[in-house]
Structure 1
Amino acid sequence: MYRIIREYKDEDLNDVLSSWESASRIAHPFLTKEFLEQERYNIPKVYLPNAETWVVEQEGQVIGFIALLGNEVGAIFVKPEFHGTGAGKALMDKAQELCGYLEVEVFEANSIAQRFYSSYGFEPVTEKIHEQTGNKLLRLKFTANKSLQRTHATEL
């Protein structure tokens, strides 16, 4: 299996939208069709121009992406048929390499993302209500293990 992480290019838009749509269908069944349609519109118009976005490509096909706003994971989505293959972990590893400390907001009802973030080492910080949908949002944080950071520093 050949997988690379690379910076997003404009020609990746359809694959990024496909990853988002297919993963959102299973992760966000509690969100309205109208909200998801607005988000689909916002991805290329609002989110991507303001984020540092990386894609994961497997055998020449973009299968997922991560969008960073500083240390905030604004989005991470992998096509469902590639869940459990390490593609999401590879994207998060890239974000952690770039930022070290990371935060993310996730819908409490999104059990798929909660399991992923927990297994990666994210811990809950706060919770609030998402104004647009009325759903509970959890803010999570990830701080790289200090001994791991020292190990990497000595390898440089």
Structure 2
Amino acid sequence: MIHFRLSTKDDLPRIMDIWRRAVDATHDFLAPDDRDAIQAELVTFFPQISLLLAVHDNDTPLGFMFLHDGHMEALFIDPDQHGKGIGKALIQRAVAEHPALTTDVNEQNHKALGFYEHQGFERTGRSTHDGQGRPYPLIHLRYKAAV
């Protein structure tokens, strides 16, 4: 069964493991230097914020999400847990608090884009570069509230 809790500093090694493994499984378009630079930024950033963790009964983190002002900045699931409803559960929790939830997804990450659209997100725009100015186009998405 999946439970949710906020991250602590003790979770950082597992969070970074999930991030690295998820990126390796889904972001093959990233240049190695960019992947390393992003990882270095996150090692500094993650301890400063609270992430929502999806954890197993034994409290092992299976995935995480970072929300900021109604925008989902990050959603990463352990690749061994893909397809088990963890990402969907985290999104449902976020939408319950933020019905107009927004997020961005790398244009080259076709599986993630399909996942978000299947969860009820619609495209609202596109940027040619990511938030740090790297040449990785982003698709901007917003959750479609039920009418």
Structure-2 residue corresponding to 1:134: 135
Structure-2 residue corresponding to 1:75: 74
Per the TM alignment, residue 47 of structure 1 is displaced from its structure 2 partner at its CA by 4.9
Counterpart code for 2:81: F
Structure-2 residue corresponding to 1:18: 17
Structure-2 residue corresponding to 1:43: 42
- Kindly, what percent of the aligned residue pairs are identical? 25
**Conserved? CA contact 2:12–2:46, under 8 Å:** no
Provide the rounded CA distance (Å) in 2 between the counterparts of 1:43 and 1:28: 16
Using a 3 Å threshold, how does the CA distance of structure 1 residues 111 and 14 change in structure 2: closer, same or farther?
A: same
Structure-2 residue corresponding to 1:3: 2
Per the TM alignment, residue 66 of structure 1 is displaced from its structure 2 partner at its CA by 0.2
**Conserved? CA contact 1:31–1:133, under 8 Å:** no
Per the TM alignment, residue 142 of structure 1 is displaced from its structure 2 partner at its CA by 0.5
Consecutive unaligned residues of structure 2, counting only runs of 5 or more, are: none
Deviating runs (4+, > 4 A) in structure 1? none
Counterpart code for 2:66: A
TM-score, scaled relative to structure 2? 0.90
Counterpart code for 1:89: K
Identify which range, 70-79 or 91-100, moves more after superposition: 91-100
What is the aligned length?
144
Per the TM alignment, residue 144 of structure 1 is displaced from its structure 2 partner at its CA by 2.7
**Conserved? CA contact 2:122–2:144, under 8 Å:** no
Provide the rounded CA distance (Å) in 1 between the counterparts of 2:81 and 2:9: 22
TM-score, scaled relative to structure 1? 0.85
Provide the rounded CA distance (Å) in 1 between the counterparts of 2:70 and 2:98: 6
Consecutive unaligned residues of structure 1, counting only runs of 5 or more, are: 147-156
Per the TM alignment, residue 48 of structure 1 is displaced from its structure 2 partner at its CA by 5.2
